[in-house]
Amino acid sequence: MRNIRTANILIFTVLWLAIPLAVAQNSPPSDHLIRIGYQKYGTLVLLKARGSLEKRLAAMQANVLWTEFPAGPQLLEGLNVGSIDFGTVGEAPPIFAQAAGADLIYVGNEPAASAAEAIVVPQNSPLKSLSELRGKKIALNKGSNVHYMLVKLLEKGGVKYSEIDPIYLAPSDARAAFERGSVDAWAIWDPFFAAAQTQINARILADGQGAVSNHQFFLASRAYAQKRPDIVSVVLDEVASVDEWAKQHTKEAAAALQTQIGLDQPTLELALSRMGYGVKPVTDTVMFEQQQIADAFFNLKLIPKHINVRDATLPQTRAEAKQ
């Protein structure tokens, strides 16, 4: 079994330094600009393609600059160093970012999507239950939503996290390792999860249902949210509009995403069928769940210090959450 503490320190450092330098150098802050970080899949991709946000902001004499990031941890590091003002990630990245000192705040979230992440195994794998993961190599992206899902599913199977061999890989590298048999299982989220099902016939060992919520969060830098709450509100309003459209028009949404990310229509329709739709204020219940994740990561020494997730909210947001 590898030295988990040493591996954690190395990977934690790599994740938080892995930010596109061009972004850091070429996007100065402005009171009349919101710099949005996005990943290849999700609501913000649809919003970018739609162009409706630009029209709303133009009426406010403001503009938007879009920057793509490979994953949530890198996106939030971009927010931390001042390269972007706003972005969306899953449950785990804000916790790692806050533990690393990022001055971010939660400004909204999409509903739970527990079925949109899973532990998968090859179709012919002898593994049939979570308890059989003891001693196995499991690929996952460190600091992503599936990291917590893996912890909770292992608990469900009576397996300690220290009893597996976690192999920290980005989705593309994890899939390659999965296909060549270098790992026994893969903890992964949509749309990579859906692609594993439709393209390489991966079998679900267990998904997140009954174990985790799998929220998607919208976050902003504290300074920007305090300076331009009106622009943040407009962005969330446009996200809600796109969410409602995508929920009612899955095929059209899949087609729009296909032009952006290149996955086939059936894969994207499957992924969209498991997505949580609608933008909600961050409530005490949701933040309590976030605190549970943060505490679990601290106890496993996956983050360097204990954090209070409610420190990453504005005072008025906390008051609203209690109502």
Do 32 and 48 belong to one domain?
Answer: yes
Q: How far is CA 69 from the centre of its chain?
A: 11
Do 197 and 225 belong to one domain?
Answer: no
Do 8 and 99 belong to one domain?
Answer: yes
Q: Which of 207, 236, 262 is the last residue of a domain?
A: 207
Taking only the tens place, the pLDDT of each residue in 183-197 is 999 999 999 999 999
Q: Is residue 52 in some structural domain?
A: yes
Q: What is the CATH number of the domain that holds 183?
A: 3.40.190.10
Q: Is residue 11 in some structural domain?
A: yes
Q: Is residue 268 in some structural domain?
A: no
Do 30 and 103 belong to one domain?
Answer: yes
For residue 256, the SS3 value is: helix
Q: Is residue 266 in some structural domain?
A: no
Q: Is residue 178 in some structural domain?
A: yes
Q: pLDDT under 70 in the chain at which residues?
A: 1-28, 316-323
Q: Which domain holds residue 300?
A: 4-111+215-251+277-321
Q: How many domains does the chain divide into?
A: 2
Taking only the tens place, the pLDDT of each residue in 268-287 is 999 999 999 999 999 999 99
Q: Residue 303 has what pLDDT?
A: 92
Do 95 and 120 belong to one domain?
Answer: no
Taking only the tens place, the pLDDT of each residue in 56-96 is 999 999 999 999 987 788 899 999 999 999 999 999 999 99
Q: Which of 152, 177, 207 is the last residue of a domain?
A: 207
Q: How many whole angstroms separate alpha carbon 220 and alpha carbon 97?
A: 12
Q: Residue 20 has what pLDDT?
A: 43
- Helix residue spans in 18-89 (DSSP H): 21-26, 43-50, 52-58, 72-80
Q: Residue 314 has what pLDDT?
A: 83
Q: Residue 74 has what pLDDT?
A: 85
C-alpha torsion sign, points 119, 121, 123, 126: negative
Do 72 and 55 belong to one domain?
Answer: yes
Q: Is residue 220 in some structural domain?
A: yes
Q: E strands along 70-183, which residues?
A: 86-89, 104-110, 117-121, 137-140, 165-168
Taking only the tens place, the pLDDT of each residue in 204-214 is 999 999 999 99
